[in-house]
Structure 1
């Protein structure tokens, strides 16, 4: 009786989770956006190139209608090469605004492929010139920013094979995520240390899948997986790789494909360490470190070794920005120090060092940093908040920054912000304070910003490092721009399988940890362990490799500690 009741409760919980996805999972690319103006010269077939980041079902086609676009409309979806996939006639249109037509059968689309949605127009049509110059993303839907978007054809109903000024003609789809195989990574995981240069990678399906699958193993020494090696495992749930390099941290994931080669799902990334390089200790920076201010533009960098150093040489890397852009590397240093000359007044510098001999090398040391006194010169500012890609619940945040050393000559600042990291078509503002309020930002569009200082002579410093954030909702009188307390929200969804999102807020800069424990108090996974600036944060917890049960997650920051309970149901 108890077993049946538990099974029923589990079924009800899973049903509610699935129901919530089916009821609220449909999204579009452009949501409620509206065009800036109206184009002419038609009639045309107008289209938008788009991609998906997960397998999805397109359930409808939509477009924004101008009041002069009075012809009957038909929507189409095509492959990027022009193969026709589906179409639908629009009925019951309003005079203008967004129009939607539901497909007779949902169309399944796949990641790593490009599709085009199109709808015909009259002579005049709604548009925003250059509206697709940059990628627009809403959850798993994205436009393609390749200067080949803003598609059209002079004949209505034909494949839109030409493009014009990356114009957003507001051709859109309605889609929802489709079921995909759930893959768990078994071994090696969690940054574990392995003791062989040959490793068998293991993974599994959380539940049976109704069709044949093949798998790719991706392996990289880059945690972002920007570049990786691909190994084809066929239909096997394991793959062995030989000749792994010593002393490296590797990252891996698995991708599943169907029998047609369509990508169905890609797992999260796990990591492991290969056997350490024997005999090479790690260097330790000794001066200048800790953001200390130095008072000369010629500076000697010094370090020491935590072990034998006979016969070792050193490699030094330094830059004037924390992202290591345009970094300088000095090789074959034979002593535990190096002289830098001609440093810039008011600039911050970052440096690290590694030791090596004829056979192997150590890891890079910890990063050290220092600031050169500005004297009567300007100082390169440092971003305060919002930064680090944080999500903030405001469309009108206040940007803040600071000077890492005394800026006696600084009389003002130029703050610059843009919707792209290259700051193309950026907006700039001259001010005298160390903060600036932005307004009317678009929700879920990443904002990039930087700042530089100036003096009375009109001399400018270099720009600061680039900071970024994502506004998630419109601002209101009752909603603060920044959090005022440390808060840890209940995960969503809960119960969950296999992943869930945990949200928390940081009211002041602090070192933050977010850890997950099982019911026995054993640490399962560390989700966050780093310094965080003021803002709101979302972290995804993937429990693919865990068993069903109750788990606890705990946020610690300074003297604050908050814990909550969540349930994994498989």
Structure 2
């Protein structure tokens, strides 16, 4: 997040609740004597969206950038009010504000609203929330699922995945990793209906050959990208035998998959050297709810499963702490998880 984004979100909340309370989507017309109004909650999603951040011109004499950018957020909230009615919208928007009070970006704040809807209405309105915030370019596409690799030994591997169901997804990006090294972009696909990729630089090998893995990102028409998908892997009989430059392993915590999830999600991390590792789960108020691991690990990649069947739905955080055994340096990474019930 950025400070400017937090300020805009806070301005958007203030505008929305003022307009909702008065049942008047025009904000500040009593003050802005030389213009019809200062800001408007019932604004156009084609103009007031995250793609146009810092490029919104609206009564500049009476608006700071945080006010104009805040109309993206107030507009999305007003769209919710139009779709769900004032009572429901006010309740989940205010609940979302409580859930994520602090320095969080627009997308995190949207997940706060989803969390409130889960608590108040058992998640009945999640699809509507996703659609509305996606129209404002606030929600990134979901990571593609269903990755698989087909082909026989000696053939080029064909990677396939399931087409995303978001209407604004415009294409995909294919990433490749050899033997656990950093994933590199190898292909951009500009059609949403193309969900296969044939890797002409590789051939399928046999056990004992290097491992080649693929992950996919979805890209929408606004340029927003999803997280990397889960991996599909095979043995490489060609690419791995070339002398390509390799990027060293690093300390890394991958995004949980799936996310949002119910009831369980996979958490993966990699380390380049011996290290003391902790992987912990915290709730939205900072209370620890689970210890997934605490011990010394050798270099490599590791997977753990977090089962949320016995805890309430909402926002949680996976905290990964690695302390190098060689020099004592500390690496800390925290990722957000959304448990839907």
Q: TM-score, normalised by structure 1?
A: 0.22
Which structure shows the higher helix fraction? 2
Larger of the two Rg values belongs to structure? 1
The higher relative CO (CA closer than 8 Å, separation ≥ 6) is in 2
Higher strand fraction (1 or 2): 1
In the superposition, the TM-score normalised over structure 2's length comes to 0.35
